[in-house]
């Protein structure tokens, strides 16, 4: 692991790091905020998964999470959204696929299966690196994200309820197998057999019997992607049928941007802290 940069913030340290990823077969960059409490004892880990076209830098620069994370004693880890590099296959003219659009799946279709293994990267490889290099209590982990990253957070939590104690999302893609801006990516990554997509679809996972203790979702009513891509009411219906507690906040007048995310960031950090602080 290489240190790209570090900076003092709210008594803690915001760092950016890189390493050669065996899962993605390329160099990967990620950000970690370590709160001041970590100087005395390992702290809970909260994973933030970013959305389409983003890197670790979007939330690090615009998410406004450090003050509250420092107050609550949370380590915040922000991975990249996809593999990077000149040898990684891409569709440069398609912002909904390829670099910046890994969808947190392990691709099975060539040529993408070689590099696009973001599920394994976030669930297996990067946690090992965090455990080895940071004062992290890996028995207390939560996950949240935005848009494509919200999709990732919901699906990772549903598939790994023993790993994550808490899960929330900002404007998540809740049913990517039917959404206009995601079903094309799933087909290219996972093939034409839609049954294989269900493991990466939050609504389908709930329908197939996967469970999680509770979810928090914030969604802007003025989000331009609401009706075609996000459709939180589908996940609300699935959770209601399954008996899974879901708090869905429709935020009047808010869009899909980091102005929206930063406004409600403190609420999400407090949600996670309440579930992560006890051993």
This prediction's pTM: 0.97
Q: What is the pLDDT of residues 233-274, one digit of tens each?
A: 999 999 999 999 999 999 999 999 999 999 999 999 999 999
Q: What is the mean pLDDT of residues 179-206?
A: 96
pLDDT value at residue 227: 95
Q: 1, 4, 272: which is closest to 140 by C-alpha?
A: 272
Q: Is the pLDDT of residue 279 over 80?
A: no
Q: In what order do the strands lie in the sheet with 75-78?
A: 2-9, 12-21, 26-34, 75-78, 43-49, 136-146, 164-170, 215-220, 246-251
* Per-domain boundaries in the chain: 2-277
Q: What is the mean pLDDT of residues 91-104?
A: 96
Q: Is the pLDDT of residue 115 over 80?
A: yes
Measured distance CA(156)–CA(144) in Å, rounded: 10
Distances (CA, A) of 91 to 96, 173, 191: 9, 21, 17
Query: Which residues belong to the active site?
Result: 147, 223, 256
What angle (nearest 5°) sits at the alpha carbon of residue 166, between those of residues 164 and 168?
A: 120
**Interacting residues of 219 by C-beta distance below 8 A, sequence separation 6+:** 170, 171, 226, 230, 232, 248, 249, 250, 251
Give the model's confidence band at 278: pLDDT under 50 very low, under 70 low, under 90 confident, else very high: low
On whether the CB atoms of residues 75 and 134 are closer than 8 A, the answer is yes
On whether the CB atoms of residues 19 and 28 are closer than 8 A, the answer is yes
pLDDT value at residue 181: 86
Q: Is the pLDDT of residue 119 over 70?
A: yes
Q: What is the mean pLDDT of residues 173-187?
A: 95
User: What architecture is domain 2-277?
Assistant: 3-Layer(aba) Sandwich (3.40)
DSSP string, the chain: -EEEEEEEETTEEEEEEEEEETTTTEEEEEEEEE-GGGGTS-EEEEEEE--TT--HHHHHHHS--HHHHHHHT-EEEE--SS--STTS---TT-TTSBTTB-TT-B--STTGGGT-BHHHIIIIIHHHHHHHHS-EEEEEEEEEEETHHHHHHHHHHHH-TTTEEEEEEES--S-TTT-TTTHHHHHHHH-S-GGGGGGG-HHHHHHTT---S-EEEEEETT-TTIIIII-HHHHHHHHHHHT--EEEEEETT--SSHHHHHHHHHHHHHHHHHHHS--
Q: Which of 43-52, 113-122, 269-278 has the lowest mean pLDDT?
A: 269-278
């Amino acid at each position: 692991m290489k240190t790209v940069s570090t900076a003092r913030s709210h008594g803690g340290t915001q760092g950016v790091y890189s390493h050669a990823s065996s899962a993605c077969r390329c160099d990967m960059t990620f950000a970690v905020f370590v709160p001041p409490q970590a100087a005395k004892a390992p702290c809970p880990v909260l994973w933030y998964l970013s959305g389409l076209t983003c890197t670790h830098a979007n939330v690090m620069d615009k998410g406004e999470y450090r003050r509250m994370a420092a107050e609550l004693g949370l380590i915040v880890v922000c991975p990249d959204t996809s593999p990077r590099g000149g040898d990684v296959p891409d569709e440069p003219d398609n912002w909904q696929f390829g670099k910046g659009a890994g969808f947190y799946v392990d691709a099975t279709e060539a040529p993408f299966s070689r590099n696009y293994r973001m599920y394994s990267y976030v669930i297996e490889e990067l946690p090992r690196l965090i455990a080895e290099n940071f004062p992290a209590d890996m028995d207390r982990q939560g996950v949240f994200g935005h848009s494509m990253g919200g999709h990732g957070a919901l699906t990772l939590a549903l598939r790994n309820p023993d790993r994550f104690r808490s899960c929330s999302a900002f404007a998540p893609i809740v049913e990517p197998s039917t959404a206009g801006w995601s079903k094309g990516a799933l087909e290219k990554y996972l093939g034409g057999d839609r049954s294989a997509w269900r493991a990466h679809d939050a609504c389908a996972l709930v329908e197939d019997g996967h469970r999680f203790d509770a979810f928090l979702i914030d969604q802007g009513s003025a989000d331009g992607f609401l009706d075609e891509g996000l459709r939180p009411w589908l996940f609300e219906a699935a959770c209601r049928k399954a008996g899974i507690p879901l708090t869905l906040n429709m935020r009047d007048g808010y869009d899909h941007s980091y102005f929206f995310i930063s406004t409600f960031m403190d609420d999400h950090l407090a949600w996670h802290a309440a579930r992560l602080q006890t051993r």
